[in-house]
Structure 1
């Protein structure tokens, strides 16, 4: 292999890390808008799809939560602005999270960010310079295509009707100046079957052109010109052999780096948990309604931010900033051993996580991070779970294992585990400062000895 090809391979690996979040994100945008996802029906751009229940194993989306009922809208503002209206939720927790094409969380609407009263918001495309209608708040969307991820607190089946009424009153409609002629996602050149690596770079090329990032990243993109990523026409249908080989090798190397960083990267740990409280702080450019601009919530090191963005897309696509919902993830127990489905574990909370809303533990399989079917259809457990059994001192001991515990008291605190290795997530919705300053510690997961 020549030095030039080696350099191209390293550049291709760098481009993979940079482009993976957007390629994955827009693939999911395309998938859910065309075919839906579990209880979320397919919906065209600029229309909400509202789930009718909490997510389950058929909702095949990375780290989907089982705490809230989802509402999802894929925005296409190439035809003009959209007016969003939200109802009065009478104090109920909800959040509408806004994610641009590059996976930046750039705005929030909901109880923490804007309160629970009825309100309207004008969602405007890049370059928009018209008047905002009276009573509406403008949200400038950085890319023409973006996503609204809505989450509605739901206490169980008996609460679904109330949630569905709120969903029906959450609406998107074209602003009166909109033309209605939208572009959607860009088309890309056909790549022969068996060439997923070349298809990845072709998608990246087409989408980089369609959805320019912030100026700092736009300048950074210039380094990828030797890979053909800045070409107006695709070079990947019939690429030069050296380029094709470099792209294939760079794809593999970049993917391996993302996988390794997702589980072994420089992420703060506490009692075996990876504290991903700042996993979505890579947005350094776009701050709209409901976001925090303080330095503790922004990665100023853009190279680090690009890797964090890639690992966050891999493990928790469309996750919130920590100040909306803080996430802790565990691949290992408190002794550093991998979590295995054939074992039995305990998780003892001497004090509950300090939150303004609620908290939960959700169980996922590996390597996909999907919910896993189990006989009792319990995929998460937390402070809203009916019938939890607390100890006399007020502590709460959860049981993580594949089989139902023998006694009913222990079974009330049971979260089923899958047969293979697994990864739980602790979610803390609107957490207190104690979560971030270390005053509160997440307890370790302990393996139980065979009885």
Structure 2
């Protein structure tokens, strides 16, 4: 049977349409649930390391691909290991206090703050690393009155949880911090708080209302107490753990290998991590053997460079959720299998909190997508209404070049609901002026430098209308030339 050209075209279009419908239907179908091979007859899972190609060039290509995934996965745990080494392992480091001890910051973050980038300018920070390998560590939280605080726990993969004003109130209490696998009896009057990894970082924040309030806040810091209940038999020390080398391929893989053997990983990531055994991570092949294989070393070197390029790019566009130029903190500090997102976030900085605790939005452009630059433009943000927060809100400016607070003659680094003399319009709106040169009325002035900058809007304890998107941040608007 033959078809005329019109008929042939009609049949072709019909088949294309049917194929498209089938493809769309398939695309919308949910993946089938996983199955357990152990429940089938005669099916077993071999526990052996996979093969690598024998041809040198193919081995280089293979190592480059495997290495890219490994280095991307390693960004968060390697950076957190570097911090743990400084604070809790190396006595020669200026930050060192050991495990289960607080290192309290006694001053508000200011330009040149060295601990990490993009810091709050209105909270005091305290750091501690807990060693839970032998059992729980006790945390005593004092009553904090009306003062906001959060004891933010970060596991070795950057996932966050909190004992805070939001989650546990301000009455204080005794808490045993333990892993999910610990089994034991908890004394009366003590609350068990479970975390995921046997080494966990605390980044504590205590709100400060002004410079005059700092002594009261520091006195409160000292009343947060950590108690080691069972000291480890072999404390970690520079001689028995890897060096904190996060800037080379082999240094990073050495750290990741230590993490897999001593910290573990979330259930469900076994297949992903199994492939790394062949490049010396978590398996029977030591990294010293990998270093003797030039094609693999060449592939890993290239993978390391490429993974960092991707992570840095993602760090500038770390979420698809953008409103009026602001990147919203969706899935921040809760990463699941989103390893690229996790790497990008940690290239910005370690220690982010979950959106329910701190809805921190970031922008480096105005509402039209033009880069913020204090050398060429003045800006305003009009909040109508201001950010709905249970505790406080603020907008802070940072230099884009070094991600630090911006020096200015007034010593003002943020504008927020606690800014002294903040002007509110009759309709309840608040307009912030953002510029390098002082305006006539400095009440709502947020100083910046004559160079590119970015803003972080923090909403501590966001209300429901923020979390469900009913309240959205307004765009940063350039000021028309000639206006004050």
What 5-or-longer segments of structure 1 have no aligned partner?
Answer: 285-301
Give how far 1:321 is off: 0.6
TM-score (normalised: structure 1): 0.86
Counterpart position of 1:290: none
Counterpart position of 1:308: 341
Counterpart position of 1:358: 392
Aligned residues: 421
Are 2:471 and 1:417 equivalent residues in the alignment? no
Seen in structure 2, the aligned counterparts of structure 1 residues 244 and 362 have a Cα distance that, compared at 3 Å, is same
1:210 and 1:314 map into 2 onto residues whose CA distance is: 24
Counterpart position of 1:241: 294
Are 2:478 and 1:447 equivalent residues in the alignment? yes
Are 2:67 and 1:12 equivalent residues in the alignment? yes
Post-superposition CA distance 1:75-94 (Å, at most 9, x none): 12234421110101113211
1:383 and 1:269 map into 2 onto residues whose CA distance is: 24
Give how far 1:196 is off: 2.1
Seen in structure 2, the aligned counterparts of structure 1 residues 240 and 375 have a Cα distance that, compared at 3 Å, is farther
2:242 to 188, 193, 201: 188
Seen in structure 2, the aligned counterparts of structure 1 residues 90 and 8 have a Cα distance that, compared at 3 Å, is same
Q: State whether residues 325 and 366 of structure 2, in contact with CA within 8 Å, keep that contact through their aligned partners in structure 1.
A: yes
Seen in structure 2, the aligned counterparts of structure 1 residues 413 and 189 have a Cα distance that, compared at 3 Å, is closer
- Deviating 4+ runs (over 4 angstroms): 32-36, 177-181
1:266 and 1:98 map into 2 onto residues whose CA distance is: 23
Q: State whether residues 272 and 444 of structure 1, in contact with CA within 8 Å, keep that contact through their aligned partners in structure 2.
A: yes
1:180 and 1:57 map into 2 onto residues whose CA distance is: 41
Counterpart position of 1:82: 137
Counterpart position of 1:376: 410
2:199 to 138, 145, 155: 145
2:391 and 2:243 map into 1 onto residues whose CA distance is: 47
Are 2:250 and 1:198 equivalent residues in the alignment? yes
Post-superposition CA distance 1:150-209 (Å, at most 9, x none): 11111012222221222111101122x445643368622798xx9723322222222222
Seen in structure 2, the aligned counterparts of structure 1 residues 184 and 267 have a Cα distance that, compared at 3 Å, is farther
1:439 and 1:92 map into 2 onto residues whose CA distance is: 28
Q: State whether residues 145 and 184 of structure 1, in contact with CA within 8 Å, keep that contact through their aligned partners in structure 2.
A: no
1:173 and 1:195 map into 2 onto residues whose CA distance is: 34
TM-score (normalised: structure 2): 0.81
Counterpart position of 1:433: 464
Three-state SS of the structure 2 residue aligned to 1:404 is coil
2:358 to 325, 331, 349: 325
Give how far 1:131 is off: 1.2
1:229 and 1:93 map into 2 onto residues whose CA distance is: 42
Which structure is larger by alpha-carbon Rg, 1 or 2? 2
Counterpart position of 1:57: 111
1:338 and 1:100 map into 2 onto residues whose CA distance is: 34
1:184 and 1:212 map into 2 onto residues whose CA distance is: 19
